[in-house]
Structure 1
Amino acid sequence: MIIGLGSDLCNIDRITAALERHGSRFEQRCFTAIERAKAERRPFTRAGTYAKRFAAKEAFSKAVGTGFKRGVFMKDIGVVNAPSGAPTLALEGGAKARLEELTPAGHEIFIHLTLTDDHPWAQAFVILEARPL
């Protein structure tokens, strides 16, 4: 059963401006070490790489119904790749705790994430699926 759905559209130029204005402070506050390393490997699409991940964090915060409140912080939501290469989320801290609160007893959660970009837009959709154990 679906227990959460979230989407977000992020302007890549807005992320470019944040990177130019705040540099590493913005990167450290919003992104995990894995996300920063991936962006650094993509110098020509760095802002787009960050924008997709920013959108994924926003989409997750909507899917759990809190936004960035109740202990859900951007840095606790990390975009990683499954062994298949598909994007998914690695959660820590308040983001992980909030997802655990939503998980019905006797179920496990599967996070479905899709990312796309077409300059100047980056978009993410998150579906939280609870499956019986």
Structure 2
Amino acid sequence: MILGIGSDLANIERIAAVLDRHGDRFRNRVFTPTEQRRAEARPPLIAATYAKRWAAKEACSKALGTGLRMGISWRDMAVTNLATGQPVMHVTGWAAARLASMTPPGHEAIIHVTLTDDHPWAQAFVVIEARPVPQPPFQT
């Protein structure tokens, strides 16, 4: 079952301007060290990489049904990538607590995220799904 859906559109040029103006203060407030390493390793695409992750955090907060309020921190949501390049959303802190409270008993929550960019826009969609936890077979 679907627990939440969120989307966001971020302007890459706006994120680039914030990076220029606030630098590490912005990076450290919003992005985890892993997210920063990923973005900084892509010199021609630094701002686009940060913008996609910004959009993903906004979309995730919307899918959690809170937006960025009620105690959710930017760094409570983080995007990493599998070896295939597929983005993966991780939640900690208050975001993880909120996700746990949304998840029905006997289910596990799975966060699906997709990212795209086409200068000057970066976009993210997040879908939170609850899947039944497989029960072990009955033993006699």
Q: Considering the TM-score relative to the shorter chain, is it more than 0.5?
A: yes
Deviations 1:79-119 (A, max 9, x none): 01235431111111011111111001110011110000000
Mapped to 1, the partners of 2:57 and 2:75 lie a distance apart of: 9
- Report 1:13-28 matches (<5 A): 13-28=13-28
Displacement over 3 Å in runs of 4+: 82-85
Which residue type is aligned with residue 118 of structure 1?
Answer: D
Q: Structure 2 length as normaliser, TM-score?
A: 0.92
Partner of 2:62: 62
Mapped to 1, the partners of 2:117 and 2:23 lie a distance apart of: 22
Partner of 2:8: 8
**Runs of at least 5 residues in structure 2 that lack an aligned partner in the other structure:** 134-140
Identical amino acids, percent of aligned pairs: 59
Alignment size in residue pairs: 133
Partner of 2:51: 51
Structure having the higher Rg = 2
1:113 aligns with 2:122: no
Q: CA RMSD in A?
A: 0.9
Partner of 2:136: none
Which residue type is aligned with residue 89 of structure 2?
Answer: L
**Runs of at least 5 residues in structure 1 that lack an aligned partner in the other structure:** none
